[in-house]
Amino acid sequence: MMMLDLIIATHSAEGIERVARMVLPPREGVRYIVSWQNSGSTPIPPALQRADIDLLRTDTIGSSSNRNNALDHSSGDIRLIVDDDLIFTADQLESVRSTFEANPELDVALFRYDGPDAKQYPPVECKLPPVPKGYYITAFEMAIRNRGEAARLRYDERFGIHGTIFTIAEEEELLYRIIKARLDLRLFPITITTHPGLTTGNRPMDDPRALRARGVTISLFYPLTWPLRIPLVAWRESRKGRVRFFSMLSNGLSGAVWRFLRYH
């Protein structure tokens, strides 16, 4: 039986209480690895004092480094990246494992989630690239086989919450490297979890560091057409009331320039 590790990154006393409220079904072949930043002297909640939960206190900073800490301590055959406020069922977890068992050549799988975002997905299984039109990645949809080059994948700590340069886009940057490495990457029409609230990508955003990150990722995925795409994204997002047009435009262009001068 393949071992499935759920990689859970959380922060502070409030974060660990969110993890304690999660539905984490005990199941043979499933382990929960919780990386806990800024834990202080907070005791471990009784709900997390289980043999199938490994809790790691860490002094690292940033969501990407937090996830990387959990990945470094994961030895399972499959790593599923998750947030600290999701709902799982045993059958959903089994569907992740059975997908990899049925596809031995698969390196990285993308799945679906339920929630108020009402995210749209392709109706059938598809191989990436190309990225399906209108699709955007969410962190907790991704599962990685712990084998070969895929096993060495880590988040770029310049991106993500409290990243050293940017505050979002760690998932997009990782997806770009997965595609660039030509790993076997597929999206499956299988729902694996429920997210009860809006994800970060669907909330109003006007943080310059976040908008610059958008410019970075647009230029990564569209190296020839980004000068046209960034103004188009700025216009579309401003029409939705999520950003101010000129803020997105100027910061997005700045991020694209950073990508060409500094990204490696």
3 state SS of 49: coil
Residues of the chain scoring pLDDT < 70: 197-204
pTM, entire model: 0.94
Residue-level pLDDT at 234: 95
Rg (CA), the chain: 18
Q: What does the pLDDT look like over 72-81, one tens digit per residue? A: 999 999 999 9
Residue-level pLDDT at 118: 75
Q: What does the pLDDT look like over 1-52, one tens digit per residue? A: 899 999 999 999 999 999 999 999 999 999 999 999 999 999 999 999 999 9
Residue-level pLDDT at 199: 64
Residue-level pLDDT at 210: 95
Helices assigned H by DSSP within the chain? 12-21, 63-72, 90-102, 148-151, 170-180, 208-221, 226-239, 245-262
